[in-house]
Structure formats: C-alpha cells, structure tokens
Amino acid sequence: MRAAIHRRLLWRIQRVLGNARLAWNEQFRLGVWDRTDCCEEVVRKVAGLAKGGKIVEFGCGPGMLPRRLPAGAFTSYTGIDIADYAIDEAKRLCAEAGLENCSFLHGDMASWAGGRDIDVIVLEECLYYLRGKQLLRFCEICRDSLAVPHGVALVIVHSHHKHRSTIRTCRKVFPKSVHEFYGSRTFLTLHRCASDDPSLI
C-alpha cells in the first residue's frame, strides 16, 4: 500500500518535471492501466457521434476503443498517446484483430499541430493532464481541427467536481457544449459550431 502511494507520488513528480513519457511508460509496463475492456457508454457514444467518419483519440492507451467499435463506425481511426509502450501494444493488438484503417502514433497533446476535417476527437480521462495555457491552446487546436459544422470533441472525466477547471476551459473555447452524466462520470460533447445548420454559420 505504502509502496503504491510512493510510486504514484514519484510519477506525479516525474510529470511535473516534464518526464511524462517516462512516468506513463512505467505505469503501462507495471500494468497499472491493464483494463481489458472499454466502457459500454463510451463505445455507444463514440459510434453515434462518428457515424462512419474520421476519429482521432488522445490518451488511447493500448487501443481498446477501435477494437470495440462496431464495424463501419469509422473510415479512419488514429490513436495518439505519450506512452510509446502503450502505442506498441495498441499496434500489436489491432494488427492481431485484423483492424483496418487504424493507426497509432506516439505524441504529446501539448505539442499537437492539429489536423483537418476530423469528425470526432476522443479525450477519455486524459485532458486534465494539461493545464493553463497548454490546455487552452490544445482545446483551440482541437476545435479548429474538427469538420464544419458537425465535428465534435468528446471529453470524459471521472469527476465533474475534481476536473471543473478543465471543463470550464473547454466551455470557454467551444461555442456549444452538452453535458451528460453516467454515474459519477461526465461526458462533455463539445461542438465546433453552435449550429449544425450550415446557413447559420
């Protein structure tokens, strides 16, 4: 118990000191994030939003989401994670499952240059690792990378209260946000445009 607390403290210090990659690799190597499945609500929500389009997921870990999404849920899926250990695992598991149109990249949200015409950006339990100006900048880049008018970013946090400042920043950047609650978890759907009607944009 005490060893586990020390380890968590050490990883937090490593993150603060700019060694996030090392800290996350170590956590995946030790099996801290060895989840074998994705939450059903997340799968349903992402499939409903993507409607066969282009998905980018940050903090994708070992790539569980694309393996759980129903056939035809996306034309392309890109998973990005700061932990190369998790990315290697994701590549291996998705190749084993014979998934097509999936790619996995090692990368840091904080230095993402952005993309184009993305239908859904998934941010499950990872956005709050960015703070202050980094968080604001990343949110702006996400918004500008989404398809017009329907593109959305889906932010999922386990505690609305604990992560209220992250949620506040998201709401500042995106013109429209919709909250849903599943138990203690908050799903925040952030829209690129305030309306889906192109004549109103």
Sheet holding 120-124, edge to edge: 102-106, 74-81, 53-58, 120-124, 152-157, 185-191, 176-182
Shortest reach from residue 2's CB to ligand SAM, in Å: 22
Residue closer to ligand SAM by CB (options 43, 126) is 126
Shortest reach from residue 126's CB to ligand SAM, in Å: 4
Shortest reach from residue 178's CB to ligand SAM, in Å: 20
Shortest reach from residue 123's CB to ligand SAM, in Å: 8
At residue 104's C-alpha, the angle toward residues 4 and 112, to 5°, is 85
Residues that bind ligand SAM (CB under 6 A): 20, 24, 33, 35, 58-59, 61, 81-83, 86, 108-110, 124-126, 129
Structure tokens at 87: 């990315």
* Sole residue written with tokens 């603060």: 16
Distances (CA, A) of 97 to 2, 46, 68: 39, 20, 11
Residue closer to ligand SAM by CB (options 59, 66) is 59
Q: Please give the DSSP secondary-structure letter assigned to residue 35.
A: -
Residue closer to ligand SAM by CB (options 127, 146) is 127
Residue closer to ligand SAM by CB (options 102, 193) is 102
